[in-house]
Structure 1
């Protein structure tokens, strides 16, 4: 399918995408979702299971599945992989003590056959905190440069202020569009 016909098809209908938002507990997944949905973030509470939001971004309708990141819930993540178009993995950049655990969970995601080839956007969240690892350091800790089987991007952000969220989402939508047009 050519680019023109793909763009015409997208114009004719609002593109609907399913996006998984994953990461360890307290990474800021729910706050990112609330920020993207233009909701009040001061009332966000930790997700104890599942939080689904539909967000309009440009010409896309994104159904975003925020699945709790507590250790006891992570084993259920795979139940939500089917029909996913992209993954957003949120990292608490200030939680240096758990960066190894974050990496281990991220590696498991990359090995999942149902997510093979899907774009992965890593939000290096909480960049407003002085203890936060830089975007480059988070990329190094997650071994992002070694990923060659899918498009990926890391984006520094602050869920509380919204800084960096738009840029990350625009990359993700472009990556999904490129894959869909092939």
Structure 2
């Protein structure tokens, strides 16, 4: 009886553990739309996030606590207050926003240099792939110099937040990373 109780406790500890995820990116990249596509599998009308939204997403009994953090210029300096215990960074990139891609790159490397994120895996969603003028995931990967990132596991996934296309593949990659590091 005691062994069974102990086994149950251990099993629930490993299977029901929440994994902290921060969802970041510049304003209007689609972070909140992606979060609610995960949660409700539908598009919800969003407005700019001031501060953060937090939701629990469960994928194959893996619990992700996702913090969607506002991406406006004035809010980016506070991103680091969310870094403690973060296991995954989801960086959402607006694939049509060529002009601000250098800012995205700067923010990415600033995050990766932060001590609290030294063990975080990085999922980059190349969002808005439904637009004609969008950059491909390969183009974004080259511009962000993702192949130079050696100390963080990373994956780039083309997606469309409005249709949900590509989002499940990104979450699947995250579930394969749970407990690896």
Could you tell me the TM-score, scaled by structure 1's length?
A: 0.90
Compute the displacement of 1:15 (Å). 2.7
* Aligned ranges 1:89-104 → 2 under 5 Å: 89-104=91-106
Which residues of structure 1 form unaligned runs of 5+? Answer: 1-7
Partner of 1:31: 33
Deviations 1:51-95 (A, max 9, x none): 111112111121100010000000000001001111101100110
* Count of matched residue positions in the alignment of Structure 1 and Structure 2: 173
Could you tell me the TM-score, scaled by structure 2's length?
A: 0.90
* Aligned ranges 1:48-67 → 2 under 5 Å: 48-67=50-69
Secondary structure of the 1:62 match is: strand
Which piece of structure 1 moves more, 46-55 or 140-149? 46-55
Which residues of structure 2 form unaligned runs of 5+? Answer: 1-9
2:87 pairs, out of 81, 85, 88, with 85
C-alpha contact (below 8 Å) 1:15/1:59 kept by paired residues: no
Distance in 2, matches of 1:12 and 1:119, equals: 19
Which structure has the greater CA radius of gyration? Answer: 2
Runs of 4+ off more than 3 Å: 8-13
Deviations 1:20-54 (A, max 9, x none): 00010000000000000015423222212111111
Output the aligned Cα RMSD.
1.7
C-alpha contact (below 8 Å) 1:119/1:176 kept by paired residues: no
